[in-house]
Amino acid sequence: MHEVIGLITARGGSKSMPHKNIALLAGRPLIAWTIEAARASRLLSRTIVSTDDAEIAQVAAAWGAEVPFFRPSELAGDATPHILVVEHAIRWLEEVEGRRPEYMLLLQPTSPLRTAEDIDTVIALAEQREAIAVVSVSPMDRHPYLSKRILADGTLADFMTSDIAYLRRQDLPPAYALNGALYLNRRESLLRDHTFLPPGTLGYVMPPERSLDVDTLWDFHLMELVLQDRFGRAS
């Protein structure tokens, strides 16, 4: 079995919701839901948090994650690509610990409904297929063939053309969207290709009920209701 390191990325700044990653969600910090899923995984070698924020680091450590380094401030901006954050962690592991894991698994704390079983299934799939990458997706709620755009004169037009004569939803080919929950990539590919979606990436389909993402305050309120309904208020 290859070494797979889970990397939870949690910067301190957030325009939509300050300190979102440690805001209490159904009784526990948002980041704790992801830490617990990662720690329950049978196939992850370790779970590391990359953050620039001392308070987030303290909370993450209290919930059982490793925080072996602080992310440089230049990698903690609103526009910082996630790929640079993961590459920083890869280089730190090699330069400081001499470790070169086969795979890195990016776990964003804004996907708290992802489970340990999802994590282990993605890793097992990568092992079985010797995949360069496996990324989680979910069925699209609104099919792209049914999407519209508004022209300059205010009229509606098809967003994309289709050769399907009658666009009944049940007749459309399945369409999937990245759900942001799981990005499993070979270390060498990340450093070489600088993308989470290199050619040959496999898709792991997650159901909509585990694919919700917390981005805004409204998302946070909806997730609170989902988690309280599913698990009750955590102590």
- Helices assigned H by DSSP within the chain: 30-40, 54-62, 82-92, 116-129, 187-193, 217-231
CA distance 83 to 8: 13
What's the rounded mean pLDDT across residues 159-176? 75
Q: Are residues 211 and 104 in the same domain?
A: yes
Answer yes or no: do 76 and 145 share one domain. no
Q: Are residues 106 and 85 in the same domain?
A: yes
- pLDDT tens, residue by residue, 83-133: 999 999 999 999 999 999 999 999 999 999 999 999 999 999 999 999 999
Q: Read off the pLDDT of each residue in 187-207 and give the average, rounded to a whole number.
A: 97
pTM score of the predicted model: 0.91
Cα distances (angstroms) measured from residue 231 to each of 27, 113, 143, 227: 11, 11, 31, 6
Question: What is the C-alpha separation between 59 and 79, in angstroms, rounded?
Answer: 24
The CATH number of whichever domain residue 106 belongs to comes to 3.90.550.10
Chain-centre distance for alpha carbon 194: 17
Same domain, 213 and 113: yes
| 110 and 10 both lie in a single domain | yes
Check: CB of residue 5 under 8 Å from CB of residue 186: no
Question: 81 and 49, same structural domain?
Answer: yes
Measured CA to CA, the distance from residue 24 to residue 31 in angstroms comes to 9
Domain count for the chain: 2
CA angle at 60 for the pair 55 and 65, rounded to the nearest 5°: 150
Domain containing 163: what range?
Answer: 141-174
> Is the domain of 102 the same as that of 72?
yes
| Residue 226: φ, ψ to 5° | -65, -45
Q: Beta 176-186 vs 28-29: how paired, if at all?
A: unpaired
What pLDDT sits at residue 172? 80
Same domain, 107 and 164: no
Residues 194 and 169: their CA atoms lie apart, in Å, by 36
